[in-house]
Amino acid sequence: MRISEIYKRKKTVVSFEVFPPKKTDAPDQSVYETFERICALSPDFVSVTCGAGGTGAGGNKTIELSALIKSKYGVEPMAHLTCIAAKKSDIKSAANEMKARGIENVLALRGDIPDGFDKDAPRDYTYAKELIADINREGFCTAGAAYPEGHIDCIDDEENIEYLKQKQDAGAAFFTTQLCFSNEHFYRFLDLAAKRGIKSPISAGIMPMMGRSQIERMIFMCGASLPSKMIKLLNKYGENADDLLKAGLEYSKEQIDGLLSYGASGIHIYTMNRPQVAEFLAEGLL
Ligand code: FAD
């Protein structure tokens, strides 16, 4: 099913993000138990990441896991696909493979610039909007990434919204945001987007804090700001992983409640492949 149809039907769309098993050899049974537990919650869709660092066009693992989520667990998948290091022919092959495996929904991304990338060399794709247009033409229901606090390389708020509008114009039927720990930023972003004529629904990306190093890595990688409440929680519970996860989940739950009251079209939970995260945060939503 095209995910855009789900947004038309439901007031709030609830989705999870997972990543494919890292091992190159056959993954063990526990990996599949993870996906089984996550899918058993019957989310509206599950999105499957592709290799970080812009290393290529999706990759078989993303497509394989997306196909499995659909065929074995009966949940609608969305495959992530990056383009910065891809040729048009790579994207065409990925599109053909996804069609053959019954995948209808794609999150079309530029991907991060790989180390040593030659910015002056000729390339087929520069921005995600070009991939969004190509994937849309291939007949997929196409989504784009959105940034409540701006992309790490984009300082200007107006430019941030303008690029979002370009993605919508290129065919993005809905958006999923980068993690954001501050609902005030979410609300401001949703208002700015609406004012600029963004009509495609926007799902808010929620990631619970699971450790001090995870948070430090995230804020430097993506430029998300840390509200003082989170800093205090990190100071209080930072030494105890279980207590911190519990406090992080409670914090995320409050964020979700606020977003629902504000009328967000969707909640997208970064599960980090931890079923207990999905189970706790989805309680009462699905
Ligand atoms: P773009 O929209 O092309 O933006 C890239 C940069 O160019 C930004 O700084 C933007 O402000 C700027 N820009 C955009 N349009 C223009 C324009 N017309 N003129 C000038 N500048 C412009 N990465 C992965 O490798 N694998 C994944 O699975 C993955 N999943 C993600 C899921 C979500 C929900 C999100 C939010 C991000 C994900 N990413 C993933 C990370 C993403 O690939 C990076 O954030 C990447 O750096 C930007 O991708 P984009 O699609 O937003 O690119």
Question: What is 22-61 written as a DSSP string?
Answer: --SSPPPHHHHHHHHHHHHT--SEEEE---SSS-SS--HH
What domain range is 40 assigned to? 3-282
Residues of the chain with pLDDT under 50: 53-56, 58
Burial of residue 124 (CB within 10 Å: 0-12, 13-18, 19+) is middle
pLDDT 10s digits, 207-228: 999 888 999 999 999 999 999 9
Instruction: Determine the pLDDT at residue 25.
Output: 61
* Catalytic annotation present for 17: yes
CATH number, domain containing residue 159:
3.20.20.220
Q: What three-state secondary structure class fits 181? A: coil
Number of domains comprising the chain: 1
Q: Which residues line ligand 1 (CB under 6 A)?
A: 49-50, 52, 54, 80, 82, 107, 109-112, 127-128, 145, 151, 153-154, 163, 166, 176, 178, 205
Q: Could you tell me the pTM of the whole model?
A: 0.97
CB 234 within 8 A of CB 244: yes
Residue 140: which of 167, 107, 165, 187 has the closest Cα?
107
Centre a 10 Å sphere on the Cβ of residue 189 and count the other Cβ atoms it contains. 24
Catalytic, out of 17, 76, 104, 149: 17
pLDDT 10s digits, 132-141: 999 999 999 9
Instruction: Determine the pLDDT at residue 55.
Output: 44
Instruction: Determine the pLDDT at residue 53.
Output: 45
Instruction: List beta partners, residue 143.
Output: 107, 174
Distance of CA 215 to the CA centre of its chain: 17
Ligand 1 atom closest to 80 (CA):
28
Instruction: Determine the pLDDT at residue 51.
Output: 82
CB 172 within 8 A of CB 203: no
86 Cα to the center of ligand 1, angstroms: 14
